[in-house]
Amino acid sequence: MTNPAPILELRGVNKSFGAVHVLRGVDFNAYPGQVSALVGDNGAGKSTLIKGVAGIHSFDSGEYLFEGTPANVHAPRQANALGIEVVYQDLALCDNLDVVHNMFLGREEKAGLILDEITMERRAKETLAGLSVRTLKSVRQQVSSLSGGQRQTVAIARAVLWNSKLVILDEPTAALGVAQTEQVLKLVRRLADNGLAVILISHNMNDVFQVADNIACLYLGMMAAQVHTKDVTHGQVVELITSGRSGDLGVQPEILSNGAVA
Amino acid sequence: MSATQVTDVDIPEAGDTGGIGQALRDYFVRVKGGEVGSLPAVAGLIVLIALFSVLQGTTFFTALNFANLINQGTAVIVLAMGLVFVLLLGEIDLSAGFAAGTAAAVLAVGLTKYGLPWPVALIACLLTGTVIGLLLGLLVAKLGIPSFVVTLAAFLGLQGVMLLIIGEGGTIGIQSDFLLAIMNRNMPVWAGWLLWALVILGYAGVTFRAIRARKAAGLSGSSASVWAAKVVSLAILLGIAVYLLNGQRQIVRAGKQACVVMGPPNEPVGCIPTLQGVPWAVLVVLLLLVGLTFVLSRTSFGRHVYAVGGNTEAARRAGIKVSSIKITCFMICSTMAAVAGVLLASRDNSVSPTTGGAQTLLFAVGAAVIGGTSLFGGRGRVIDAIIGGLVVAVIANGLPLITSQSGIQYVVTGGVLLVAASVDALSRRRSSASGR
Ligand SMILES: Nc1ncnc2c1ncn2[C@@H]1O[C@H](COP(=O)(O)OP(=O)(O)O)[C@@H](O)[C@H]1O
Ligand SMILES: [Mg+2]
């Protein structure tokens, strides 16, 4: 299987917080129409990598290419302008607002001074329909009345509302039960099938193997490997996560020892 | 993303077809889910009015007393309208009462000491409120001091500023016929009915257009029968109010008759001036209600106020400038306090160091909360201030008619506020429990 041209390409990015060198020369690609899983132990640097992509902080060094051209992303707005949307683990929804209001929060459609509720409601419905979401009773429901899976759905729908090209999901199923996890994974798959590039951060190997086209393993801030899902087994990925290498995959031992000591 | 699948996806709407019955059922579901809104306040209002009418029918349920009630309640209602903006953020403004007093002092001093024309003095008064709000908002939003502390400090500080402006112990009379008329004069009877008609037509027109626009866009909206029921009930309720206010409030003793006179000199013998009509203050409240409701429910600023109150972090991540929203809300609140200050000055014909003091602020906070605005932020409407303000005014007005002990009045008002806060806390718990 050959990959399409990556929409996002990170080459040798570094990030330190004070004396702590969190990301060490990380290479990472995301492809349109594919789900790229980002896995790694706690503290491996997954969130740091994602925040760099989203412009919450900038990388210290390395290349950031979007659609093949170097991109300047130092603020969330710049990332949004490129078509990058992030669904954070805590979802960041306003319980007191309804589904439509949440989806358009901060980017409301207006007719002159006045909120254009009709356009917003129609676009929200179209987006949900495009994702084949059938579980919402009404888009005018307050978010406080939704289940965990429905909330996740709303957060994802909000991310794709903006003709986004790359959607990043931070542990979308962590707080969900079996049925709702299944629902959300289907939705994640559908995003990619609709042509979006998806980055899925997850701890759950079952989720990863169910939806991901490729898997990127971070180990102590280094990219151990980014491989096609069908080329690896559960066991190999777990090994990559826990020890940074598995057979001929992963970080070379001498780099590993240097990295671990430095 | 293709929009072609729209038709095969079924997202049914609540409240879409079945007329009034369905609308009532939907409303019941929402109430059960914790969105009680103004329901307890409206119920309370009806119960209180019924209670006082039974206990003190002859005095309580009269045109005169109804006008008194409005006269007593207006300033508190306007203060509460401003407080709604701050409460929506989950913040509080304890200084609003003395912001009203300080602004009123500026008005009085401007009129008397500096001999300013009333429009200039009025603008200075309102700007005083705006500046107070700006300072409060900056301290809360930029320095991150809890609003409770900032406004408690301002509560004390403004009391001092007010004394300094007025001069110790002084009372300054208001000499402006226009400003005095706001709380002391009434519209002609015909103007009251004209206002009534305009309000009903305006409400009916705006809501009808909204429903039709939704239908035209293929979205579900409330049905025509629900719309008609709402318009008719509003017309009846307001009609009763206008009818009562248009009634003769002057007590005409035997042997005398009421007649219209413009001034004392030409008062004929055996004739006392009529006292009837909707107080002009009602028009002020109405205009503020429409304007502020528009801001809160139809503009993105209003939407952002709710978002900040509901989930500040989510609002920030959505690109909303949280601190400027907060500052603006404090400015609106204190400016509305200044308007309340004008009303207080107009009602009392003067400004004194007690203007805006005593229970004014607590009644206003109580009014907003009783009306259904949450102390936790994110939930509330401008009209809550009116509904809650009427409850507070009815208690303040009705209790003295049945008991001479002012202690009882405090206890009852405090109790009602506590009940309202409990309803608020419980409905909040319920709405977070009904999710997930
Ligand atoms: N703002 C920060 N300041 C200092 N250290 C940080 C900061 N953010 C993350 N780190 C450190 O970077 C490392 C990687 O964190 P993170 O990216 O959150 O890992 P993951 O998401 O993979 O669990 C951790 O050791 C963490 O303590
Ligand atoms: Mg993390």
**Tens of pLDDT along A111-162?**
988 999 999 999 999 888 877 777 788 888 888 888 888 888 898 888 888 8
A111 touches chain B (CB under 8 A): no
- State whether B318 and A107 contact (CB < 8 Å): yes
Are the C-beta atoms of residues A225 and A60 closer than 8 Å to each other? no
Q: For residue A196, what is the nearest residue in chain B, using CA coordinates?
A: B1
Residue B270 is predicted with a pLDDT of 56
Average pLDDT, integer, range A217-227: 91
Residue B32 is predicted with a pLDDT of 67
User: Does the structure show a pLDDT above 80 at B261?
Assistant: no
User: Does the structure show a pLDDT above 80 at A220?
Assistant: yes
Task: Calculate how far, in angstroms, residue A184's C-alpha sits from the geometric centre of ligand 2.
Answer: 19
Average pLDDT, integer, range B400-405: 74
How far apart are the CA of A4 and the nearest CA of chain B, in angstroms? 19
Task: Calculate how far, in angstroms, residue B302's C-alpha sits from the geometric centre of ligand 1.
Answer: 36
- State whether B9 and A134 contact (CB < 8 Å): yes
A177 touches chain B (CB under 8 A): no
Residue from A26, A47, A86, A199 whose mutation best tests the ligand 1 pocket (most atoms within 8 A of CB): A47
Q: Which of A83-97, B25-39, B90-104 shows the lowest mean pLDDT across its residues?
A: B25-39
* C-alpha–C-alpha distance, residues B317 and A77, integer Å: 10
**What percent of chain B is predicted at pLDDT more than 90?**
42
User: Does the structure show a pLDDT above 80 at B112?
Assistant: yes
| Domain boundaries, given as residue ranges, for chain A | 1-83+168-262, 91-163
Nearest CA to ligand 1 atom 27: A43
Residue from A14, A15, A16, A17 whose mutation best tests the ligand 1 pocket (most atoms within 8 A of CB): A17
Task: Calculate how far, in angstroms, residue B72's C-alpha sits from the geometric centre of ligand 2.
Answer: 57
Residue B251 is predicted with a pLDDT of 65
- State whether B431 and A95 contact (CB < 8 Å): yes
| Residue B328 tokens, joined | 């603006």
**pLDDT band of B433, cuts 50, 70, 90:** low
Residue B305 is predicted with a pLDDT of 97
Are the C-beta atoms of residues A142 and B34 closer than 8 Å to each other? no
* C-alpha–C-alpha distance, residues B436 and A95, integer Å: 12
> Closest ligand to A90 CA?
2
Q: Which of A32-36, A189-193, B107-111, B394-398 shows the lowest mean pLDDT across its residues?
A: B394-398
- Helix axes B189-216 and B280-298, enclosed angle (nearest 10): 10
User: Does the structure show a pLDDT above 70 at B18?
Assistant: no
Are the C-beta atoms of residues B88 and B378 closer than 8 Å to each other? yes
- Kindly list the protein residues that place their beta carbon closer than 5 angstroms to ligand 2, a single-atom ion: A 47
A121 touches chain B (CB under 8 A): yes
- State whether A105 and B307 contact (CB < 8 Å): yes
Give the contacts of B238 (CB within 8 A, at least 6 positions apart): B196, B199, B200
**Tens of pLDDT along B193-236?**
999 999 999 999 999 998 888 888 888 877 888 888 889 989 99
ipTM for the whole predicted complex goes beyond 0.85: no
Are the C-beta atoms of residues A89 and A174 closer than 8 Å to each other? yes
List CB contacts (< 8 A) between B315 and chain A. 94, 105-106
Average pLDDT, integer, range B111-121: 89
Q: Which parts of B71-189 are beta strand (E)?
A: 172-173
List CB contacts (< 8 A) between B218 and chain A. 122
**pLDDT band of B15, cuts 50, 70, 90:** very low
The CATH class of B39-184+285-430 is: mainly alpha
User: Does the structure show a pLDDT above 80 at A45?
Assistant: yes
Contacts 24+ apart (CB under 8 A), A126-129: A126/B1, A126/B3, A126/B6, A127/A103, A127/A157, A127/A160, A127/A161, A127/B1, A128/A153, A128/A157, A128/B9, A128/B11, A129/B3, A129/B5, A129/B6, A129/B9, A129/B11
> Which DSSP helix (H) or strand (E) runs through A110?
strand A110-111
How far apart are the CA of A146 and the nearest CA of chain B, in angstroms? 5
Name, of A74-78, A120-124, B137-141, B161-165, the range with top average pLDDT.
B137-141
Nearest CA to ligand 1 atom 12: A22
Nearest CA to ligand 1 atom 7: A17
DSSP secondary structure, B329-369, as one string = HHHHHHHHHHHHHHHHHHHHTEE-TTTT-TTHHHHHHHHHH
Residue B57 is predicted with a pLDDT of 65
Task: Pick A130's closest partner by Cβ from B2, B13, B314.
Answer: B2
User: Does the structure show a pLDDT above 80 at A74?
Assistant: yes
Look up the CATH number of domain A1-83+168-262: 3.40.50.300
Residue B298 is predicted with a pLDDT of 94
Q: For residue B211, what is the nearest residue in chain A, using CA coordinates?
A: A118
- How does the average pLDDT of chain B come out, rounded? 83
DSSP secondary-structure letter at B403? -
A138 touches chain B (CB under 8 A): yes
Residue B264 is predicted with a pLDDT of 47
Substitution target in A78, A96, A114 with the highest count of B β-carbons within 10 Å is A96
User: Does the structure show a pLDDT above 60 at A15?
Assistant: yes
User: Does the structure show a pLDDT above 60 at A219?
Assistant: yes
Residue range(s) in chain B whose domain bears CATH number 1.10.3470: 39-184+285-430
Residue B138 backbone zone (phi > 0: left; psi -120 to 50: alpha; other: beta): alpha
Average pLDDT, integer, range B10-30: 61
- For the entire predicted model, the pTM comes to 0.85
User: Does the structure show a pLDDT above 60 at B376?
Assistant: yes
User: Does the structure show a pLDDT above 90 at B183?
Assistant: no
* C-alpha–C-alpha distance, residues B88 and B309, integer Å: 5
Task: Calculate how far, in angstroms, residue B412's C-alpha sits from the geometric centre of ligand 1.
Answer: 55
* C-alpha–C-alpha distance, residues B360 and B184, integer Å: 20
User: Does the structure show a pLDDT above 90 at B127?
Assistant: yes
Average pLDDT, integer, range B328-337: 97
